[in-house]
Structure formats: structure tokens, C-alpha cells
Chains A and B, each alone.
Chain A
Amino acid sequence: MKRTLAIIVGIVLLLVPLIDRNSSHISAYADTGGLVLLAFGLNIIVGYTGLLALGFAAFFAIGAYTYGFAASPQYGLHLNFWPMILVSAAVAALFGLLLGAPTLRLRGDYLAIVTLGFGEIVPQVLQNLDKWTGGPDGIAGIDQPRLFGYAFGFNPIPYYYLYLVIILIALWLLNNLRHSRIGRSWMAIREDELAAAHMGINTTGAKLAAFSLGAAFAGVAGVLFAAKLSTVSPSGFDFNTSVMILAALVLGGMGNLTGVITGAAIIGLLNFLILPQSTNWVQALGQQLHASALANLDLNQYRFMLYGIILVLVMLFRPEGLIPSATRRAELHAEQADSALPENNL
């Protein structure tokens, strides 16, 4: 049943560019694919391991700029796109380790604050080291991929398919991880870190692995983002982007890959397709009616209000997300039941 559904969804996704001929729509679908990858990465850290990391967009930026430096007139380097996917993933993972190593002794709120700081520092550094990074304008003229002589250029369709392929590979990797030594270690740490250590789990090592693997997913998303747009600038990686990724995770349901994809698809389509499109319609309507309030209305500016409303509604009515992992749902309901009981001490 689940398998059949997955195959049907897969076929529909394959056919989308044939059904929907509007290239700005395809572009929005491709960008949504990027959000799915980012949400996959954050899910390893927050969903599996239970570490609240804000500022995740920093790793996205690191992936994008790594490719920007390596394949643009900025340094006159023009390294090949395909191996750079892996290189950027590795660079982002390295930064994941660098951030993780000193901070993973922290828990909960403290870790959230430190990662939030990291998320602010990275775009600031990119903006202010203008001698090397191009400053607020970023890097332009980034090389776009070629495959067997076919140039991707600015046509969104090949990017759309590239995202599909990479998401499929990511799903395979994540499914392996989930049912493996390291996946069980992550969940054990989420459940009870002290007990996990007594199972012989090197908890610091496992948390570092979660951080760097999560960052690697963001790094891959960064390369694709930079290549599709052919330009990167610091403004694309601010706190708002981090919030968007977290919102996708919370909306869809943490820990469950179907939930993560659903949440990322909804937030992505809202952000990349529905808001820009409805802005166009409203403005066209406003011009027809000669109503300047409507003609100048930009719905895109309300997106964070919308995320906020979505998050509040999810927390009120379905705190486990739309399609949660069975675990998470039970956890949230158990917490309510347990809240009257005293805490267990060691």
C-alpha cells in the first residue's frame, strides 16, 4: 500500500515538467526540492538526535559559497560541477564538525543559542569580507552544470530532475542510517543520553556525526542552489531561511521522512509558488479595478507572518506535525500524561 503510493507519487513527479509547461512553476518545484534536502539534513540533527539547532542556513551558505568560489570568475577557478557536489558537502560537514566540537557539551536552549549565533555569523562574515567574498553583492557568473555536452543553463527542467535524483539518493542513505548502528545511537541519545553512553555509545562522536552529516545535506543543497541561480549573495542565507527549514520540519513532523517531505513541499510551494503567483493575480486585479492598494500589494512580504500562523496552529492543534513518526506522536501525548508525575532522578 505504502509502496504503491510511493510509486504513484514518483511517476507523477517524473511527469510534472510534461504536464506543467510553465517554466517559472518548474523553477518553484525545483527550489522546493532544495528545501526538502535542507529539511532532510536538519531532521538528522533535530528529529533523530534531538539536538535543537537553529541557524542551519549557515551550512547551506557554506555549500553554496564553496561552489561559488570554485566555479566562477571570482578566483578564475572553473572546477567541474559534479565532483564539487561532494567537495561542498565535505566542506559543509567540516564546518559542522568545527561548530559541533566545542558546543555539543551544551544541551537544549544553550545549544540552540550557540547555533543561532553561528547562523548569524556566517552571513555577516560573507557580507563583510568583501575582498574575498564579493560582499553584499556576492558572487555572480557561477558556472552551471553540463552533462554529456548538455548545458543546464537557466532552464529549470534539468535542475528539477537533478533534485529528484539527489532526493532519491538521500532517501536511500537516510533509510540506511535510520536502521543502523549510528541511527539507533542517535535515537538512544535523544531518549536518554546517560543511558546511551552506558551502552558503549561515544555520545560526543555520535552527535558530531549527526551535525556533520546534517550539514553535508545542506552543503549539497547549497551547490545546487548556487548553480541554478548562477549567483550567490549573503542575503539568501539569513535567519529567515533557517526558520523556513525548521518550520517545514515542525509542520510535516520530525523524525518521519514522509512527514519531512510533506512539510518541506507545503512550505516550499507556499514560498516559491503560491505567494508569488497570488501576488501577481492580486496586482493584476488591482490594476483592472484601478485600486492602487491592491496593485501595490506584495503578498511575499507576509510570508513570515504566514509561517508564524502555521507554526502556532500546528502547535495548538497537531503538535506532532502532519505526518509524524509514531514515536514522536506518542512522546508528545505521553508528556501530557506524565506532566503530573514527579521527575525521575538518577
Chain B
Amino acid sequence: MGLLELSSLCKNFGGLAAVKDVTLSVESGMIVSLIGPNGAGKSTVFNLITGIYTPSSGTIVFERQALGGLRPDRVTAAGIARTFQNIRLFSFMTVLENVMVGRNARMHATVADSALHTARAGREDDDVKRVATELLDFFGLTPFAQEWARNLPYGMQRRLEIARALASEPRLLLLDEPAAGTNPAEKQALMRLVQSVRDRGVTVLLIEHDMRLVMGISDEVHVLDYGEKIAQGTPEQVRRDPRVIEAYLGKGA
């Protein structure tokens, strides 16, 4: 039984089947990639896992817990964190505050604790600051801690989104095109970063278009096309699969 199991997952938008009967399993401790041409339904799969969409049918099971239809905040509390294809940082909060917000799922202070600054709120504040500071350090963002998120260079914003996601101490991290729009040097750094995140014990499910990056770091690759899974296997297997070549290059290529 994998860490995350999708079984016969479907999502229809009106007459359009964005995700058709997708079954896949993510084993603990791996870096698993989800690839496919534009519009193949990759982001929709992410949105189904994190509760933005409710599945039309099929199940999502994470650590033996059924997630289908659970609200995003509950999914995060269950141990899944994500980043977004279009960066969605809290632009006008500081870099440090962004990561602190990311810790919210692991905090317990009530509104009353917050308002009266009780001992519990104080302890939690110390804890969240410590965790956030460590993460900023790990991601090389410490010099920018007091900057607004929106003022960071693009590549740094991508890193900050990952740092923010990790603040919730997830067991599974969903990365939606983390290398989009970054330069080759940043891509290299990002690859190492994703590997070091996995080495921290976080399983990674990755959507990525950059094939060199995907093939370089993935333990397993799943390929979607028109909402259907057409292939799965090691990077080597997938690269040679005629259906994958057809999906990317068209028939007769």
C-alpha cells in the first residue's frame, strides 16, 4: 500500500472529462513525477488531491485516510502540502510571515489565546519562529526574511513557496511546475533542493515540463494525456514508451 493511492479517479467539468479513470500509487520516500502535454489534467489531479475539487468518482487515500472531498485545510492537516503553478505567495506579508503562516496547520492557539497572548500562544509563537527561521536558513532565504514576498526575485519566490509548504511538516509534498520560468542555474539548484527535501523524509509528487529535470530526479514517472494515464514506470521505460512519444510528438513521429 503506497503513501498516496488514487483509484479510478474521475473529474468532469460539464461534458469535459478533465481526469478519466486515473489510478496511481505514490510510494513513501520517492520522488514521483506526473508529466503530460498541456491540458492533460495534471494540475486537476493536484486540485483533486488537495480538495479544491471534489472527485466526480473514484477515491483518494492518503495514509489509509480517504481524502476525496475533504476541505483544503483538512488535507494540509492530514499531511499533504503543495505549491502552485502560478506562484501564490502572500505578496504583502514578509518572507518570514509567509513561512509562519505555512505552519498554521500545526498550531493550536485559539483566537482567545491569540488575543490575550496566553502562555500557550507564547510557546507556539517561539516554536513557529524557530521552525520558520530554520526553513529560511535551509532555503537560503534568511537575508530576505523581512522583505515582502513580492519583492523577491522569481526564482526565490519559487523556493519560498516550497519553504512555506514544508512549514506544515508534510509527509507528501506536491510541487506544481516548480521550475517553470527559472533559468538553467536555478533549475540545477532546484533539482538538488527537491532531492534534499526527499532526503528529509518528505515524499515528493512533481508536475514538471522540463524533461531533463524530470528524468534526472524521478524514481517513477506517470504520464497523463487527455485526462487518462497512458504510461508509468522508471524514467528509462517512459522515455521509450511509444504511446508517450506519440502523445508528445503526434502520430508518425
Contacts and interface: CB of A to CB of B under 8 A. Distances in A.
A192 B52 CA distance: 14
A173 interface: yes
Interface string B85-124: 1101111110001001110111101010111110001001
Nearest to A178: B114
A239 to B, nearest CB: 29
Contacts of A327: 92-93, 148
Interface stretch (A195-203, A229-237, A265-273, A297-305): A195-203
B92 A201 contact: no
A308 B128 CA distance: 44
Contacts of A330: 92, 148
Interface stretch (A65-73, A108-116, A181-189, A246-254): A181-189
B159 interface: no
A345 interface: yes
A194 B85 CA distance: 13
B128 to A, nearest CB: 8
B92 A185 contact: no
A209 interface: yes
Contacts of B148: 327, 330
Given A180-B109, A181-B114, A191-B91, A198 B82 contact: yes
Contacts, number: 113
Interface string B36-61: 00000001000100101000000000
B81 interface: yes
A247 to B, nearest CB: 24
B111 A182 contact: yes
Contact of B101 (A199, A202, A344): A199
B164 interface: yes
Give the size category of A's interface with B.
Answer: 20 to 34
B73 A209 contact: no
A334 interface: yes
Nearest to A212: B111
A346 interface: yes
A196 B85 CA distance: 16
Contacts of B107: 181
Contacts of B85: 346
Interface in A153-203: 173, 176-177, 179-185, 187-188, 191-192, 194-203
B189 to A, nearest CB: 24
A331 interface: yes
A215 interface: no
Q: Is the interface of A mostly helix, strand, loop or mixed?
A: helix
Nearest to A185: B104
A177 B114 contact: yes
A196 B102 CA distance: 8
A266 to B, nearest CB: 26
B69 interface: no
A213 interface: yes
Contacts of B84: 195, 346
A185 B101 contact: yes
Indicate the member of A180, A191, A213 with the most B CB atoms within 10 Å: A180
A93 B92 CA distance: 29
A195 B167 CA distance: 14
Nearest to A327: B92
A191 B92 contact: yes
Contact of A184 (B73, B75, B93): B93
Contact of A201 (B73, B111, B116, B117): B73
A272 to B, nearest CB: 29
Interface string A269-294: 00000000000000000000000000
A184 B76 contact: no
B93 A173 contact: no
Nearest to B107: A181
B215 interface: no
Contacts of B73: 197-203
Contacts of B124: 181
B90 A180 contact: no
Contacts of B121: 176, 180-181
Contacts of A173: 115-116
21 contacts: A176-B115, A176-B117, A180-B117, A180-B125, A181-B128, A184-B100, A184-B101, A185-B101, A191-B90, A192-B90, A192-B91, A195-B88, A196-B90, A196-B101, A199-B105, A209-B111, A327-B148, A331-B92, A334-B91, A345-B86, A346-B52
Given A180-B115, A202-B73, 11 more contacts: A176-B115, A176-B116, A184-B100, A192-B90, A194-B88, A198-B73, A198-B76, A198-B82, A327-B93, A330-B148, A346-B84
Closest 4 pairs (CB-CB, A-B) = A200-B105, A180-B114, A191-B90, A200-B76
